[in-house]
Amino acid sequence: MTRAPTTDSNRVIAVTIDKESIGRSGLDIEYERAVAIDDLIEENSFAPVGHDGGPYALHLRMADNRLVFDIRLADDTPVVMHILSLSPFKRVVKDYFMVCDSYYAAIKSATPDRIEALDMGRRGLHDEGSLLLQERIKHRLVVDFNTARRLFTLVCALHWKG
């Protein structure tokens, strides 16, 4: 597995989402997206393969069930654009949302054992999606597992219908 050392040059310092391609959502969804972006910016290790001149600004947009990573330098100079098909994520995102719904419903009335089991399932699906994301981008972007987790959270936040 390729790793890029976390330096000021190997990180994302800004994330923007194209509202035209993603679409406007309710306040809850907008909040979840903002939190996912803040978490990603707060801590990440991110470098396009073969490029070491960051820090980077990540511009995301959707195009035909594909997530477009438009990666630029902090001064908006284009670096590279990568397109990621979201089809391979369909099952894990669907399962993740289903388990999350069960988890949040269980918090209200289930036993601690049931809540813990659902939380473990939720975290397991999140890890699965994160590893899938890391695998799908590894030839284009070098990210550590924690950054892949934060990116997967953002992918889920982009899919969330509320």
**DSSP line for 84-123:** EESGGGHHHHHHHHHHHHHHHHHHHHS-HHHHHHHHHHHH
9 — pLDDT class (breaks 50, 70, 90): confident
Percent over 70 (pLDDT), the chain:
91
Residue 148 pLDDT grade (very low, low, confident, very high; cuts 50, 70, 90): very high
pLDDT in tens, 78-111: 999 999 999 999 999 999 989 988 998 999 999 9
Q: How confident is the model at residue 1 (pLDDT cuts 50, 70, 90)?
A: very low
Integer Cα distance of 45 and 89 in angstroms: 22
pLDDT of 39: 92
Whether residue 11 is predicted with pLDDT greater than 70 in this model: the reply is yes
Residue 128: per-residue pLDDT = 97
Between CA 133 and CA 151 the distance in angstroms is 8
For the segment 34-51, what is each residue's pLDDT rounded down to a tens digit?
Answer: 888 999 999 999 999 999
For residue 25, pLDDT beyond 80 = no
pLDDT at 161: 52
Of residues 2 and 101, more confidence is placed in 101
> Which one-letter DSSP state was computed for residue 76?
-
11 CB-near residues (< 8 Å, 6+ apart): 44, 45, 46, 54, 55, 56
CA separation for the pair 91, 155 (Å, rounded): 13
